[in-house]
């Protein structure tokens, strides 16, 4: 910056001379016409008059110096008007850089003649601040009449054009004013954010450009308001948990081919499950560009709801002539803001858009039903589970410096999403690649704190110890379980039938929950686990509502449903139960009776269950202690190789006398780890003996005996 720029009081007028002479003359004529329209009601002071006359290039009359009365200046103004208008060819239209730009913008945004002329007046006012003192003098009672005269339209048309639902305001070309009934001319012609973003265009040498080149230049400038989104990282096949994927593709393809109006899809789901990536995958499959409505502008400043809506509507009109999709992400703030979006306008947006739009939200519970009815398709995106999802997450976590087992366990976590995998990989760059086990401990601590902050817990399965410290259990094997009847044929039949209700009972830790996990894995579906204690509600009727919602969720997802400790809910009804206890027991019986999927209920107290309950189950499976050979195989998996020969010498008759379960083995391993003892055959057998005594009540005497 130079001092001379600050001290030069003529800098503004000097810069003004660089503008198109025709454009400047148009601004001057409009300003003088406004002064003459006001007449004696013109409220300019002597400084305003001097500035106006200086801009017009005429001298202030000597007898008018220091005056603010219109009558002292009007004769000179009228002579200027007469002389200037006589030199103009009134039979030819006004043609300059500004009018050329306005005509192209009006055609691209489908503006009418009146809207185009109001746009031109606003742009002139923006470029020539010398007009402002005069415009500010026109009171709201005369604003529409003056604009009608300047544009050649009637006052009613001007009134409708300046309404908050008018295109100039909704497209952001004019600024939205809250008190629309009492606007003076200065307020009515206030440039909106969209016009401000286009203002630099007029500084280019647009006359040197061909009409098609100028049109393309303006189009690209406007299209940049909703930038083209980069390709997604996933294909549509990656979203196997999303229902109606192919129908969505067919719907969007037909809407593009037929130019269907009002084609809208609402996609919702919890943060991080991949909603945006799904939209990108749809656009990639359809081979069309995806335009995204941004949340921040190029300067990283937050866009207001009205600005985001303006950008959406502008691009809707521009994209009308080319193939593509528009994604409006994070719609919560926009649709909830009635000042930014009058309620009737949302319906209009969803009924008249010419380009298919995909609206993305974290939830739909807050949306007005009137809005929801206008979406042709509403799709929920959920976190993916199952074998395919596990392989997908393992691939996403490939760069994470952990063990292969740790990566697989992370992929199985219920909280795992594409966003969570991306976050872990970013943090993983800070980990030491030579300490994968320690890195797993860091991740365990990190996710514990994160989930706790989100009001969730870091739940683990029976075999999920890879992310924690201490010894680990081997992978699940169904042949290790000792049940009556045997499980192999039962699992095959359940896999084929896709339905069945089983009551699993037996010793704690004998593998009942593990069977449910195994079934869900081989079926490739989600496992929903509900502990009976978590379903009990302190309010009358609350338990019944929770039960109904649980079974409805399992039906909707096609999941394996596991009711753990079901005896808490299904005690015998003849044992002096309260009326509400009988009520929720009856509700559970009805839900079990009507459930057509796979239901597993576990209990350690099968004798306490109501007889009517037992009739609802297709099969009762008893889980017994491990047989000698499966017990030997399990011990071999957890013991070091140097103990395998000694383990083989233990006779089956000795192992048959033990009443042990896989849960006992896991607990014994943890016990040795906490005591700092090595996992060897003798220490493990001692720990198992202690576990067996505790489980079956065979306690050693205490004290001086």
Percent of the chain at pLDDT exceeding 90: 18
Q: pLDDT per residue over 170-206, tens digit each?
A: 778 888 665 555 567 777 888 887 888 777 776 666 6
Q: What is the pLDDT of residue 4?
A: 57
List the one residue out of 156, 151, 191, 186 whose CA is nearest residue 171.
191
List the one residue out of 514, 512, 488 whose CA is nearest residue 502.
512
Q: How far is it, in rounded angstroms, from Cα 601 to Cα 501?
A: 8
Question: Band of the pLDDT at 321, cuts 50, 70, 90?
Answer: low
Q: What is the pLDDT of residue 206?
A: 62
Q: What is the mean pLDDT of the chain?
A: 81
Averaged over 448-458, what is the pLDDT?
74
Q: How far is it, in rounded angstroms, from Cα 423 to Cα 419?
A: 6
What are 69's two structure tokens? 């009365």
CA-based torsion, 142, 146, 149, 152: positive or negative: negative
DSSP state of 131: G
Q: Report which of residues 603 and 299 the model is more confident about.
A: 603
Averaged over 111-120, what is the pLDDT?
90
Point out the least confidently predicted range of 144-148, 459-463, 683-687: 459-463
Q: What is the pLDDT of residue 244?
A: 84
Asked if 353 and 346 touch (Cβ cutoff 8 Å), the reply is no
Q: What is the pLDDT of residue 359?
A: 93
Residue 343 has pLDDT above 70, yes or no: no
Question: Band of the pLDDT at 489, cuts 50, 70, 90?
Answer: confident
Residue 325 has pLDDT above 90, yes or no: yes
Q: How far is it, in rounded angstroms, from Cα 58 to Cα 60?
A: 7
Asked if 356 and 252 touch (Cβ cutoff 8 Å), the reply is yes
Q: What is the pLDDT of residue 14?
A: 43
Q: How far is it, in rounded angstroms, from Cα 136 to Cα 118?
A: 16
Q: What is the pLDDT of residue 291?
A: 93
Q: What is the pLDDT of residue 626?
A: 92
Residue 469 has pLDDT above 70, yes or no: no
Averaged over 453-468, what is the pLDDT?
55
Q: pLDDT per residue over 355-368, tens digit each?
A: 899 999 988 877 77
- Phi/psi at 418 (nearest 5 deg)? -55, -40
Q: How far is it, in rounded angstroms, from Cα 171 to Cα 175?
A: 9
Point out the least confidently predicted range of 93-97, 489-493, 525-529: 93-97
Q: What is the pLDDT of residue 263?
A: 92
Residue 60 has pLDDT above 60, yes or no: yes
Averaged over 410-430, what is the pLDDT?
85
Q: What is the pLDDT of residue 623?
A: 92
Asked if 445 and 417 touch (Cβ cutoff 8 Å), the reply is no
Averaged over 66-89, what is the pLDDT?
87
List the one residue out of 476, 483, 402, 537 whose CA is nearest residue 663.
476
Question: Band of the pLDDT at 701, cuts 50, 70, 90?
Answer: very low
Q: What is the pLDDT of residue 216?
A: 79
Asked if 54 and 17 touch (Cβ cutoff 8 Å), the reply is no
Asked if 298 and 226 touch (Cβ cutoff 8 Å), the reply is no
Averaged over 375-383, what is the pLDDT?
87
Q: What is the pLDDT of residue 705?
A: 30
Q: What is the pLDDT of residue 599?
A: 92
Averaged over 634-651, what is the pLDDT?
91
Residue 157 has pLDDT above 50, yes or no: yes
């Amino acid at each position: 910056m130079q001092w001379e720029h600050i001290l030069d009081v003529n800098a503004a007028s000097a810069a003004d001379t660089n503008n198109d002479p025709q454009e400047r003359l148009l601004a001057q004529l409009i300003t003088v016409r406004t002064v003459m329209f006001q007449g004696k009601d013109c409220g300019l002071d002597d400084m305003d008059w001097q500035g106006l006359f200086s801009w017009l290039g005429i001298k202030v009359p000597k007898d008018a110096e220091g005056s603010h009365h219109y009558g002292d200046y009007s004769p000179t103004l009228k002579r200027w008007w007469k002389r200037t208008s006589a030199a103009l060819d009134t039979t030819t239209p006004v043609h300059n850089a500004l009018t050329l730009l306005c005509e192209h913008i009006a055609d691209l945004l489908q503006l009418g003649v009146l809207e185009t002329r109001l746009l031109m007046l606003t742009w002139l006012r923006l470029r020539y601040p010398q007009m402002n003192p005069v415009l500010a003098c026109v009171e709201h009672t005369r604003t529409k009449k003056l604009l009608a005269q300047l544009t050649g339209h009637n006052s009613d048309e001007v009134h409708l054009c300046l309404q908050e639902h008018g295109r100039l305001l909704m497209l952001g070309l004019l600024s939205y004013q809250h008190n629309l009934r009492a606007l003076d001319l200065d307020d009515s012609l206030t440039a909106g954010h969209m016009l401000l973003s286009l203002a630099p265009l007029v500084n280019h040498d647009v006359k040197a450009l061909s009409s098609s080149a100028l049109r393309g230049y303006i189009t690209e400038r406007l299209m940049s308001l909703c930038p083209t989104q980069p390709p997604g990282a996933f294909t549509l096949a990656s979203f196997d948990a999303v229902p109606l994927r192919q129908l969505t593709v067919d719907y969007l393809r037909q809407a593009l081919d037929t130019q269907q109006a009002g084609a809208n899809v609402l996609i919702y789901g919890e943060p991080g499950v991949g909603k945006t990536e799904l939209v990108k995958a749809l656009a990639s499959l359809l081979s069309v560009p995806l335009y995204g409505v941004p949340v921040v502008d190029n300067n990283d400043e937050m866009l207001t709801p009205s600005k985001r809506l303006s950008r959406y509507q502008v691009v809707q009109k521009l994209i009308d002539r080319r193939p593509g999709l528009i994604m409006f992400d994070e719609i919560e703030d926009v649709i909830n803001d009635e000042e930014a979006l009058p309620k009737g306008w949302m319906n209009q947006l969803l009924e008249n858009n010419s380009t298919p739009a995909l609206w993305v939200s974290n939830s739909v519970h807050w949306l007005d039903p009137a809005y929801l009815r206008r979406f042709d398709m509403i799709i929920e995106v959920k976190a993916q589970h199952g074998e395919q999802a596990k392989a997908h997450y393992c691939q996403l976590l490939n760069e994470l410096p952990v063990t292969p087992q740790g990566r697989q366990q992370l992929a199985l976590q219920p909280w795992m999403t594409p966003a969570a995998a991306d976050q872990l990989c970013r943090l993983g760059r800070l980990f030491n690649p030579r300490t994968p086990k320690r890195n797993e401990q860091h991740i365990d601590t990190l996710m514990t704190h994160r989930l706790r902050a989100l009001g969730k817990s870091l739940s683990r399965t029976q075999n999920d110890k890879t992310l924690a410290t201490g010894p680990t259990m081997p992978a699940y094997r169904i042949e290790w379980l000792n049940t009556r009847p045997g499980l192999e044929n039962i699992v095959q039949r359940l896999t084929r039938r896709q339905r069945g209700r089983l009551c699993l009972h037996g010793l704690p830790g004998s593998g009942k929950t593990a069977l449910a996990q195994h079934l869900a894995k081989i079926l490739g579906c989600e496992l929903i686990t509900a502990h009976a204690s978590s379903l009990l509600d302190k309010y009358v009727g609350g338990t019944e509502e929770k039960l109904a919602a649980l079974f409805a969720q399992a039906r909707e997802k096609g999941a394996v449903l596991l009711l753990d400790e079901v005896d808490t809910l299904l005690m015998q009804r003849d044992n002096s139960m309260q009326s509400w206890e009988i009520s929720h027991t009856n509700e559970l019986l009805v839900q079990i009776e009507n459930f057509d999927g796979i239901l597993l209920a576990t209990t350690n107290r099968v004798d306490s269950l109501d007889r009517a309950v037992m009739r609802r189950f297709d099969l009762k499976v008893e889980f017994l202690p491990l047989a000698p050979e499966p017990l030997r195989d399990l011990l071999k998996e957890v013991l070091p190789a140097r103990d395998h020969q000694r383990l083989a010498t233990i006779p089956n008759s000795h192992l048959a006398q033990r009443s042990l379960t896989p849960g006992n083995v896991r607990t014994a391993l943890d016990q040795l780890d906490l005591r700092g003892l090595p996992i060897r055959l003798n220490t493990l057998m001692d720990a198992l003996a202690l576990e067996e005594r505790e489980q079956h009540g065979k306690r050693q005497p205490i004290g001086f005996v």
